[in-house]
Structure 1
Amino acid sequence: MQDAADALLALGAEGLQLTPGNAPCEGFLDDLRARGVPVRTHHGFDARALRRPVWSPSAECLVDADSVHPPRDVDPASAHWVRRAKSGDFHALTLETMYPGYALGTGDALTWAMDLGLKLAVDVAHLHIQRESGVLPGHVWRRLQDYPSIHEVHVSANPGDRDAHHPLRPDTFGLEWARARRADGTPLILECYMHRLSDETRRTQVALCRGTT
């Protein structure tokens, strides 16, 4: 965790999103806090483990994170999740827009979420998959762009059929809109697989997010 954080901060990152998957590192969070690094926690992040369970079978959220994925359609929580969302149980959570196979994975589901006034973390790469799958109508995307309760924006590229977390290109779907939301103060989070890239390419990715290249 510490090595990954140091490599990203050396790029001039304004903060870090802490996500599941890195091997635990003793004192990791204490070190970031002592250095004054802004952090946002995501989904099943745990500083002491690879990941934590996010949803109980009854759709109770088990993590205290800045944003979480809603459950997959095949998860035990799925049967209860929609009911609890309708009841207002998740209004304190920021829920990420997903792709088919998950809750919030279609345009109809996004319309439903906006009608409920749910807080959203908009992942434009996931929306690209929705669009390429034919389940994100243009009018829903246009409404979502102006939705007032967006608390994060996530960006990466993919070929439209899977969540590949490829590096951004200047023409990546949703990138221009994401930059505009960043300019308005919404946290913009780059989610491409930076560990696979050269240092020069990493810096280009950061510049693309900022609109300086």
Structure 2
Amino acid sequence: MTSNQAAVDAARSVLVRDANQPAAIHDVVLRALTTNRDPRGTLTELLRADWDDVFGDDLPFAQVYTSTTAPGVARDVDRWHVHRHQTDRFYCVAGRIVVAIADPRGASPSNGAVMLVELAAQDDAPAPLLVTIPPGTLHGFVVTSPGPATLLNFPNRIYDPEDEGRLPFTEAGITFSDGAPFDYDIVSRLYADN
């Protein structure tokens, strides 16, 4: 097995595709969403005030935005996003993305863990997911669908540039279990044959 294949296998081992798989990172929440279908189309509830795992006094709704990204593109290809205070709630409206989350939080029980979460539009996923990304975790995403993907985010805070950080992969020191440094090219290779 080549080192490239070992890295792809290591990435595959941390890929989550449904809410029945455990979240490898403390405070990350994977919520399965139900899509109701009838002859007229579909309806999917994305966020409700009675979903205590993703909404509450400590997780209020502050704003919502969409981000459309071209196929094969990673948002910030060589660096992680990180927030000191903001919690993100991601949902994929169109296409397919893989969200990468890494835990550098020293006091976290999952310190050093990496997980990948596949989010796909309701017609491309067995059950669409909402993923909640806690403050202090490193995160980003890459589009793995053949066409563009649209991400919807329901953060718990109004955008604050002072809370928005970037950390280059080379400085973060995040690796897969085989020791390969994190890289979106490795993640994209999981979908190379699709």
TM-score scaled by structure 2?
0.32
Q: Report which of the two structures shows the higher radius of gyration computed on alpha carbons.
A: 1
Select the structure that is richer in helix.
Answer: 1
TM-score scaled by structure 1?
0.30
Between the two structures, name the one with larger relative contact order (CA 8 Å, sep ≥ 6): 2
Select the structure that is richer in strand.
Answer: 2
